[in-house]
């Protein structure tokens, strides 16, 4: 059964560094999403992406964040200058009609 | 998206049916009811969804009231592996998912 994959499973970085989180969506899906979950808190929507552009973004998704689909298969989330409060699980999801989630990347900012 | 209300926690004995309720009294006519679950910190797992008819798949059944203001997710024979946080979400087609706190379901032997 096709599934969404994410790499790395765990990323540790120093505050102020740039990180790129990678996702491979399910191959025939057209809609792509990033969510995050701070430890002990709710899953929060960050951004949705369709037809090579952002279709919706939350207040969390500020200028430090960007997304792209560089090669037609990968979908990436870049955080330009990480802060301590960016430490969280980041989930990618893709959708044709129903959203399916990847296993997540645990980002730890020191 | 319409707000949903779920009990904070529920218990269920292994092998018995787990019935998880959800209220969504402000649901709009074009909004679907979706159920996901999350085991520990894994990615949310899709379970089932519906618009107004009852639905069943290999994982669960979804019962939606006629006025669509509430629904019940039924896990017919709960196992220990069904222990998870269950989220009831209403959204328009292709929209973002807005997660609440969900219901912590504990299945015990």
Instruction: Give the pLDDT score at B48.
Output: 97
Residue B1 binned pLDDT confidence (cut-offs 50, 70, 90) = low
Mean pLDDT over all residues of chain B? 95
Q: Which residues contact A3 (CB under 8 A, 6 or more apart)?
A: A26, A100, A102
User: Residues of B with CB below 8 A from A106's CB?
Assistant: 41
pLDDT digits (tens, 9 = 90+) for A43-98: 999 999 999 999 999 999 999 999 999 887 899 999 999 999 999 999 999 999 89
Write the DSSP assignment of A35-59 as a string of letters: EEE-TTS-EEEEEEEETTEEEEE-T
Measured CA to CA in angstroms, residue B80 lies from A70, B83, B106, B107, B109 at distances of: 41, 6, 8, 5, 7
CB proximity B32 to A under 8 Å:
no
Task: List Cβ neighbours of B69 (8 Å cut-off, separation of 6 or more).
Answer: B23, B24, B25, B27
Determine the distance from the C-alpha atom of residue A32 to the mean position of all C-alpha atoms in its chain, rounded to a whole number: 9
Q: What pLDDT is recorded for position A72?
A: 78
Give me the mean pLDDT over the A98-105 stretch.
97
Given this model, what pLDDT does residue B2 score?
64
Span B50-100, pLDDT tens digits: 999 999 999 999 999 999 999 999 999 999 999 999 999 999 877 899 999
| Subunit contact A104:B43, Cβ cutoff 8 A | yes
CB pairs under 8 A between A and B: 47
What is the C-alpha R_g of chain A?
A: 13
Q: What is the DSSP letter of B52?
A: S
User: pLDDT band at A1, cuts 50/70/90?
Assistant: confident
Share of chain B above pLDDT 90, in %: 90
Q: Are strands A10-13 and A105-109 parallel, antiparallel or unpaired?
A: parallel
* Cα dist from B65 to A4, B6, B81, whole Å: 33, 15, 28
Element (H, E) at A71: none
Q: Please work out, in degrees rounded to the nearest 5, the angle formed at the alpha carbon of residue B37 by the alpha carbons of B72 and B55.
A: 40
Which of B42, B94, B101 faces A31 most closely, judged by CB atoms? B94
- Residues of chain A in contact with residue B87, where contact means CB-CB under 8 angstroms, are 43
Q: Is the pLDDT of residue B41 over 90?
A: no
The reply to whether residue B41 touches residue A104, judged by beta carbons under 8 angstroms, is yes
Determine if residue A52 is left, alpha or beta; phi over 0 gives left, psi from -120 to 50 gives alpha, anything else beta: left
**pLDDT digits 0-9 by tens, A4-40:** 999 999 999 999 999 999 999 999 999 999 999 999 9
């Amino acid at each position: 059964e096709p599934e969404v994959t994410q790499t790395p499973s765990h990323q540790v970085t120093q505050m102020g560094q740039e990180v790129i989180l990678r996702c491979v969506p399910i191959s025939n899906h057209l809609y792509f999403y990033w969510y995050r979950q701070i430890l002990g808190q709710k899953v929060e929507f960050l951004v949705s992406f369709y037809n090579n552009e952002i279709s919706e973004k939350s207040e969390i998704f500020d200028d430090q964040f960007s997304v792209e689909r560089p090669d037609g298969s990968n979908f990436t989330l870049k955080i330009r200058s990480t802060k301590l409060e960016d430490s969280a699980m980041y989930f990618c999801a893709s959708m044709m009609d129903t959203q399916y989630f990847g296993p997540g990347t645990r980002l730890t900012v020191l | 998206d319409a707000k949903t209300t779920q009990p904070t926690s529920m218990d269920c004995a292994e092998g018995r049916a787990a019935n998880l309720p959800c209220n969504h009294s402000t649901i709009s006519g074009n909004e679907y009811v979706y159920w996901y679950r999350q085991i520990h910190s894994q990615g949310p797992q899709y379970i089932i969804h519906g618009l107004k008819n009852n639905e069943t798949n290999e994982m669960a059944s979804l019962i939606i009231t006629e006025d669509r203001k509430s629904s019940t997710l039924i896990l017919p024979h709960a196992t220990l592996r069904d222990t998870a946080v269950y989220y009831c979400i209403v959204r328009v087609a292709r929209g973002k998912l807005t997660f609440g706190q969900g219901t912590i379901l504990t299945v015990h032997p």
